[in-house]
Structure 1
Amino acid sequence: MTRSIPQGELVLYGLPLSGHCHRVALFLSLLRLPYRYENVDLAGGAHRRPDFLALNPFGQIPVLKDGEQVIADSNAILVYLARRYGGGEEIEWLPDEPVAAAEVQRWFSAAAGLLAFGPARARLKHVFGAPIDYDAAVELANRLLPVMEAELARRPYLAADAPTLADIALYSYTAHAPEGGISLQPYPHIRAWLARVEALPGFVGMPRSALPAGA
């Protein structure tokens, strides 16, 4: 498959401290795609204004604008980028083989479920002061991380022996779980996997936030 070249400007609407937005920024960088970052002032309610709702009626970030094409939802954006611009890459980010494709989808579900309501939500409490049920978030994190650890004990990446979109979808909030008081020290295979992702050519990290007291 030949690698496509953007015909117009790529614009990512998001917030740098959002893991959902970071997974898109990370994948854009891994694909070596230039783009413009448009910060969305969530605290000021910019995501509820008509101009933003015209991009995403759900009022959520991230949103990617590719010329006239608008894609919302971080995992959907990853799929779009892989299918449109991932051709010619050495890495098959989104496999066509049915079982491999199902494995990636399985981790997309984990990213939208246990990750989002576990480590990501716990981080919201400490980084943004969000009024959440912290104990419930920790419980979900404690369900997710041992499963990831077991999977990564038998292969180097979550869905395959090579990186896929599953790793991009799970990386950001896992790497920053300690900012929500979720320790990664009990999970050596997860920590080794994070290092493998960070060693990929074109990797860019998400800005770090202060760790909770005692973390």
Structure 2
Amino acid sequence: MKPTLQLYRNAVSGHCHRVELFLSLLGLPFDSIDVDLAAKAHQLPAFLAMNPLGQVPVLRDGDVTLADSNAILVYLEAQYAPGQWLPRDPVGAARVQRWMSLAAGPLAFGPAAARVVQLFKLPTDPKDAIARAEGLLQFMEAELGRTPFLVGERATLADVAHYAYVARAPEGLVSLQPYPAVRAWLARIEALPGFVPMLKLPIGLAA
């Protein structure tokens, strides 16, 4: 039976990987449709009809079309695993939302941005992005020194949202060696049933 879920993605995007990872953790079959960003496929009318901002990922689930990776995570959790990855109690929900906000802020403008500079060889000084990445990692290290996952004893959307860009931080010249609790957390994510790794860059591009 053909899956109803279709994921429009780019393989090097951590935003796309967080959705791929969650789909796999949920055991949901889906069609993966690569969007050639270099050829500006994301700016074609057919793609802009799905997401006027011209960004991946985009998820189609039957008649539902959604953009924004964090929004897609919330939808998938509510639709297919309600209460399992996003607490329904006010404090638990707020703690996850805090991390989702961090994923859209310091994570995106820290390790993710530093990685983009190296990946696309941009003529940009990555110093500020690396500093933001290190600040986030220091905060994560302290939090993960108290609990195995970002919001407590089990994985939530907070962990799914952060995994890819933290795991690939060295590709942006951000070392994970000073953060043993973060590295142990990455290993716990990778041990979850259904885990799928993010594409690794060629060794020549990696830090």
1:8·1:66 contact (CA, 8 Å) conserved in 2?
Answer: no
Gap change, CA 1:151 and 1:212, over 3 Å in 2: farther
Residue 183 (str. 1) matches residue 178 (str. 2): no
Length, aligned pairs only: 207
RMSD: 1.8
User: After superposition, what is the alpha-carbon deviation per residue over 1:151-195, rounded to whole angstroms, capped at 9, x for unaligned?
Assistant: 000000001211000000000000000011100000000000000
2:119·2:205 contact (CA, 8 Å) conserved in 1?
Answer: no
> Where does 1:1-215 land on structure 2 (aligned, <5 Å)?
9-87=4-82, 92-211=84-203, 215=207
Structure 1: gaps of 5 or more residues: 1-5
Structure 2: gaps of 5 or more residues: none
Residue number in structure 2 paired with 1:3: none
User: After superposition, what is the alpha-carbon deviation per residue over 1:74-129, rounded to whole angstroms, capped at 9, x for unaligned?
Assistant: 00000000000114xxx820110000000100000111100101101111111222
How many Å apart are 1:212 and its aligned residue? 6.2
- Percent of pairs with identical residues: 57
**TM-score, with normalisation over the residues of structure 2?**
0.95
Structure 1 runs of 4+ aligned residues shifted over 6 Å read none
Q: Hey, what's the Cα distance between the residues in 2 that align with 1:94 and 1:25? A: 17
Q: What residue identity is the alignment partner of 1:134?
A: P
Q: Hey, what's the Cα distance between the residues in 2 that align with 1:179 and 1:7? A: 36
How many Å apart are 1:211 and its aligned residue? 5.0
1:177·1:184 contact (CA, 8 Å) conserved in 2?
Answer: yes
2:107·2:136 contact (CA, 8 Å) conserved in 1?
Answer: yes
